[in-house]
């Protein structure tokens, strides 16, 4: 599998394919980076939505929490499209996710380097 395809597949189904590609693409450091970045970013969004859903049901503020989760979902969808586009058009070269790359990138580097 080439670098472009590996990077693209790392983002295709969010953290699920990120986790898969972390081990499947372990021979290419750039594919591992994309996989780890996908795992950290989209995994964090999933956990955040889950926690907000529980918080909303416990505090009976479903309407307010619902708006927040919808905004997070929209943000995640836009970032997903951007990640897919940049992974494919950039030929698999590393990039930071816009707006949150500074937060996500150090963890992605650490995870990518720890998988052998």
Is the confidence at residue 60, as pLDDT, over 80? Answer: no
Q: Are 5 and 91 contacting, i.e. CB atoms less than 8 angstroms apart?
A: no
For the chain, percent of residues with pLDDT exceeding 70: 98
Confidence of residue 59 (pLDDT cuts 50, 70, 90): confident
Give the end-to-end CA distance of the chain in Å, rounded to a whole number.
Answer: 18
If phi over 0 gives left and psi between -120 and 50 gives alpha, with beta otherwise, what is residue 92?
left
Cα–Cα distances (Å) from 36 to 2, 42, 65, 71, 100, in that order, read 17, 10, 28, 24, 14
Lowest model confidence (mean pLDDT) among 1-5, 61-65, 80-84, 94-98: 61-65
pTM of the model: 0.84
Is the confidence at residue 36, as pLDDT, over 80? Answer: yes
Domain-wise residue ranges, the chain: 3-114
């Amino acid at each position: 599998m080439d670098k472009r395809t590996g990077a693209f597949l790392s983002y295709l189904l969010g953290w699920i394919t990120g986790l898969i590609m972390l081990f499947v693409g372990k021979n290419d450091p750039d594919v591992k980076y994309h996989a780890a970045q996908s795992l950290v970013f989209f995994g964090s969004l999933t956990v955040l939505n889950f926690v907000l859903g529980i918080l909303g049901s416990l505090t009976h503020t479903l309407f307010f929490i619902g708006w927040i989760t919808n905004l997070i979902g929209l943000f995640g969808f836009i970032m997903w499209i951007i990640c897919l586009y940049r992974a494919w058009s950039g030929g698999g070269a590393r990039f930071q996710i816009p707006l949150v790359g500074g937060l996500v990138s150090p963890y992605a580097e650490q995870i990518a380097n720890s998988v052998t």
